[in-house]
Chains A and B, each alone.
Chain A
Amino acid sequence: MKDVIRMLIAPLAWLGSFSAVYGLHGLLCGHWIGGAVSDVPLARTLLIGAYGLAMLIQLTLLVALYHPRIGAPPGLVRFVSRATGWVGLVATGWSLFPVVVTTYCS
C-alpha cells in the first residue's frame, strides 16, 4: 500500500493545491479584498503566495521521493513514483501560472 501511495501522492497534492487555489480565487471574488502589498493588490499577492506554497509542497514531495529512505527501492515503483513526482511539479507550475498573468474576478 505504501508503494501505491508513493505513486499517487504528488498528483494528488497537485489536485488539492489546484482546487484550493481555484477556491481561493472564488472566495476572494465573492468577498472583495482590498488593499495592496507594495503596489501589488492584496488579492493577487495572496494568489501568488498560494501558488508559491503549492510549488514548495511539490518540490518537497519530489525531494522525498528521490530520498533513499523515503522513496521506493529501485524498480518500477520507484520509476513511476519519481515520474509522477515530476508530473505533480510540472502540473502545478503550468496550471497555476495564470495567477501571475491573468485578470482575476472578471
Chain B
Amino acid sequence: MNALERHRKLTAIWASEPGFRGWFSTVNHNDLGRMFLVTSFFFFIIGGLLAMLIRVQLATPHSAFAGPEIYNQIFTMHGTIMMFLFAIPTFEGLAIYLLPKILGTRDLAFPRLTAYGFWCYAFGGTMMLTAMVFGIAPDGGWFMYPPLTGAIHSPGINTDFWLIGITFVEISAIAAAVEITVSILKFRAPGMSLDKMPIFAWYALITALMILTGFPPLILGSILLEVERAFGFPFFQVELGGDSLLWQHLFWLFGHPEVYIIFLPAAGVISTVLPVMCRTTLLGYGWIVASAVALAFLSFGLWVHHMFTTGIPHMGLAFFSAASTLVAVPTGVQIFAWIGTMWKGRPELRLPMLHLLGFFFTFVIGGLTGVMVAVVPFDWQAHDTAFITAHLHYVLFGGFVFPIFAGVYYWLPHVTGRKRFFHLGEFAFALVFLGFHVTFLAMHWVGLLGQRRRISTYAPEDGWTAINLISSVGSFVLAIGIGMILIDVVLHALTATRGRRNPWGAGTLEWAMMTPAPAYNFASLPHVTGREPLTLLPDLATALARGEGYLGEPRHGWRETLTVDIASGKPDMHVLYPANTRLPILMSAVTGVFFVSLLLKFYWTIPVAVVGVAYLAWRWAWVLGRTDDPQVRPVGHGVELPDAAATDRPPGWWGSVFLLTANATFFGSLLFGFAFLWTIAPGWPPPRWFAASPVWLGAGIIGAVLSPVSMRLAIRTNRRGGGPVPGVVLSLAGTAALGLTCAAMMLGTPPPAEHAYNATLFVLGSYGLFHATLAMLMTVFLAARVLRGFTSAVRRAEFAIVGLWIDYACITGVLILLAGHLPTLLS
C-alpha cells in the first residue's frame, strides 16, 4: 500500500471518536496531551487573575478592596493553583504529547492510565474552583501549617477542600509519573539506547522519578491532617503527643523537590530548544544528564531550609545550608553548558530565543537570591518577608514560565501545522519581561524593609507604598503581556497558513512526521542510530510514511507498538494497546465520589465508591489478554517479538515497580513520622503502650512468609505447565492471615484520639490491612484468570505482577507488625 492508504488505515485504527464525545473516551496521547495543556493554561489564567487581585489589594495602604478573610483565600488559591493545577499539569501535558514522538514510538505505556490521570486532574481542579466560587476556598496559605489549619483554628470546610482536593489531583501526577517512567525506559524506537535518547527524555525521566518519591510525603501529610480534623487523631497536636513540626517536615520533604520537579522539565525544554536556535548541538550532553541527576538527588536534601526559623539546632541547619549552597553547582553546570552551546553555535534572535533570554536573566537572579537565603543568618531576616516572595517568583517564572513560553512557540508549528502570521509574540515578550521585573524586582527591597508575606494590607507609615504601587502597575503590564501571548497562540491555531514540516531545522524525531501529528504518530517506527536521527537521515519522514520502518503494515485492526531493552534499545516485546474506552473517565468519576464523600462527610457513600473503584479496576485488567497462546510476531526488518503477556517483565510489571516505589516512599514517610514523633515530639511517652502479643506477631510473620513463597511456587509450577491454583490459594491464605493480624493491631490499639502513638499505630495497621486486602483481591483476580484460561505456561505475565504486590504487602506488613509489637515486647 502507498503512504496515503497506510495513513488512512492507521488513522481508522488509532483515531479517537469524532467531536467532543471523543474527549470522554480518548486514550490517545495527542488528544490527552493537548487536553492537559489547555486545562493547565486555563488554570494559569485563573491563578493569574488571583495574582492581579492580590496586587490590587496591595497597591495602596489600608486597602478597602478585600478583607483578610477573602484575601487569605485569594493568596492561598493563587499559590495552590499555580503549583498544583498549572505547573505540574503543564509538565504532564508536554511530556504526554511529546515523549512518544521524540522517542520514536506510537503512544505511552498505559494509554488508559493517561486518560484516568487527566480526568482526576479535571475533577479535582473543579473541586478547588467550586470552593473558590462559593467563597469557601482554603485560606491557610499554600503550605497550610497546622495548628492554624487544624480543626480548632480552621473549623470550616475550606481546609478540607485543600487536603482532599489536592490529594485527588495528585493521583494524576503519580499516574503520569508512573507512565512517563515506564514509557521512557521501555517504549522507545529500536536502536535508541540510553545514550541516544533526546535530552528532554532524560529530564522527563528524572522528573517522573522525583514525582514518585517527592509527592508521597505530602499525600501522607494531607491524609494525616484530614484524619486529625475529621476524627481527632492528634498527629499535629502537641498536647496529645503530636507535633506541628511533623507537618512542616512532611510538607517540605515534598515541597522542595516540587520546585525542582517544576524546573527540570523547563530545563529539558531549554536543552532542546536552545541548540536548535543556535544551529548546533548541545554542549556537554553527558555533563547535563549527570547534573540533572545530581540536582534531583540534592533537592531531596534541602527541605529544612524552609524551616530555618523553627528553632532547629545550628548543626542541623548547617547541614541544609551546606546542601542548599551545593545545589547551585549542578544548576550552574547546566547554565554554563547552555551559554557554551550559544558560543559553539550561531544564535538567532527568533521568538523562542527571546523567551530563553528572559529565562537567563530572570532565573540567574532568582538563583543568586536563593544562594543568599541559603545563608542561615540572612534567612533569619528574610524568611516570611516579601524578599522570599520575590525570590520564588524569580525562580519559578524565570525557571519555568519563560522556558515554557519558549517551548510553546517552538512546538506550536508542530501542534497546529501552521506558520506564524501575526507577530504579536515579540511585543508580548517585551511586555511580559518588563512587567515581570517591574513587579518583582523592587519586591526584594520592600521585603528587606520588613514587609511580611501574606499580610492583607499595611500602613502608610511603613514606607512601602511607593514600591507596592509600582509593583502593582507592573503586574498589570505582565498580565497584558501574558494575555497577548495566549491570544497570539489562539490566533495562530485558528488563522495562520499551512507551514512546512520542520521550520526550525531540528534533528529530533517529533519533526519526522506530518504536522499536525496524526493519531498514530509514525506510520512505521524508525531505527535510531544517533541522537539527531532527522539530521542523520533528512528523508526519514517520507521513509517512515512509506512504511519502511518497523510495524509499517497495519493488521487485524490492532494498535501495535513495541518495547525495547532499557539500556541497549534492542526490541524485546510486542505490545497491543486497548482501544477507545470510557472506563478511565468512569473510574475517575467514581474516585471523585469517594473524595467528595470524604469532603462532605457522607460516610455511607464511601464504601459504595470503594467497591465501585475495585469493580472498575477488575474490569480494567480483565479486558486485556487472550485465552490462547500468542505466536511470536514479525515486526519488520526481520525481527520477531513475543507478545508482552508471554514475558516475565511486561509493561504492567514495570508500572507496578514504579507505583510501588511511590508507595514505598509513602510508607517510609509514615515510618519516619512515627520515629519523629517518638523521639522529638514533646508529649511522649504515651499514657499506655500497645498490648503486644507474640502470638499475633508470629501469626502475621508466618502468613507474610507463606504468601510470597507460595506464589513463587505457583509461578514455577505454571512455568512448567502444571496447575498453579493450589499455590495461589495458599498464598491467599497467607495474605489473609497477615491482614487479620493487622486488623487485630488496629483493634488492639488504645483509642487513637487519645495520643499520637495510638493514632500512628492505628494508621500503620490500616495501611497493612489495606495492602493485604489489595493483594488478596489481586490474588483472587489471578485465580479467576487461571480458571477462565487467560493464563498458561507461556502467558505468565500476570503472575509476575501479582507477585510484586504480594511481596510488597508482606514486607510492609511485617515491618508494621514489628513497629507495633516489638517495642512493648522488648521492654
Question: A residues within 8 Å of B by Cβ?
Answer: 1-4, 7-8, 11-12, 14-15, 18-19, 21-23, 25-27, 29-31, 47, 75-77, 79-80, 83-84, 87, 90-91, 94-99, 101-106
- Within the complex, the shortest CB–CB distance from B553 to chain A, in Å, comes to 32
The stretch of B44-52, B316-324, B428-436, B438-446 that contacts the partner chain:
B316-324
Check A94 against B680 for contact (C-beta < 8 Å). no
Q: Is B289 an interface residue (CB 8 A)?
A: yes
**26 A-B contacts, Cβ less than 8 Å apart?**
A1-B567, A7-B290, A8-B293, A11-B296, A11-B298, A14-B301, A15-B297, A18-B319, A21-B319, A75-B195, A76-B289, A77-B195, A80-B290, A83-B290, A84-B290, A87-B294, A87-B297, A91-B294, A91-B298, A91-B323, A94-B322, A94-B323, A95-B301, A95-B326, A98-B318, A98-B319
Note all chain B residues with C-beta closer than 8 A to A4: 185, 566
Cβ contact of A22, chosen from B319, B326, B567, cutoff 8 A: B319
Check B297 against A11 for contact (C-beta < 8 Å). yes
Q: How far is the CA of A101 from the CA of B294 in the complex (A)?
A: 25
- Within the complex, the shortest CB–CB distance from A30 to chain B, in Å, comes to 5
Check B315 against A77 for contact (C-beta < 8 Å). no
Note all chain A residues with C-beta closer than 8 A to B323: 18, 91, 94-95
Question: B residues within 8 Å of A by Cβ?
Answer: 185, 194-195, 285-287, 289-290, 293-294, 296-298, 300-301, 304, 313-316, 318-319, 321-323, 326, 330, 566-567, 675, 679-680
Note all chain A residues with C-beta closer than 8 A to B318: 98, 101-102
Check B286 against A79 for contact (C-beta < 8 Å). yes
- Within the complex, the shortest CB–CB distance from A52 to chain B, in Å, comes to 16
Residue of B nearest to A1 (CB): B566
Check B297 against A98 for contact (C-beta < 8 Å). no
Q: Given A1-B566, A79-B286, A105-B313, A26 and B679 touching (CB < 8 A)?
A: yes
Residue of B nearest to A19 (CB): B301
- Within the complex, the shortest CB–CB distance from A66 to chain B, in Å, comes to 15
Q: How far is the CA of A75 from the CA of B301 in the complex (A)?
A: 29
Check B195 against A84 for contact (C-beta < 8 Å). no
Check A2 against B194 for contact (C-beta < 8 Å). no
A91-B297, A91-B323, A102-B315 given. 20 additional CB < 8 A pairs? A3-B566, A4-B566, A7-B293, A14-B297, A14-B301, A15-B301, A18-B301, A18-B319, A22-B304, A22-B319, A25-B319, A26-B316, A27-B679, A30-B680, A80-B286, A87-B298, A95-B319, A96-B322, A104-B314, A106-B314
Q: Given A11-B298, A18-B301, A98 and B315 touching (CB < 8 A)?
A: yes
- Within the complex, the shortest CB–CB distance from B661 to chain A, in Å, comes to 12
Note all chain A residues with C-beta closer than 8 A to B285: 76
Cβ contact of A29, chosen from B195, B286, B300, B313, cutoff 8 A: B313
Q: Given A3-B566, A94-B322, A25 and B301 touching (CB < 8 A)?
A: no
Q: How far is the CA of A2 from the CA of B294 in the complex (A)?
A: 18
Cβ contact of B313, chosen from A87, A91, A106, cutoff 8 A: A106
Residue of B nearest to A105 (CB): B313
Q: How far is the CA of A8 from the CA of B293 in the complex (A)?
A: 7
Q: How far is the CA of A15 from the CA of B675 in the complex (A)?
A: 18
Q: How far is the CA of A37 from the CA of B139 in the complex (A)?
A: 52
Q: Given A25-B315, A95-B326, A102-B318, A77 and B298 touching (CB < 8 A)?
A: no
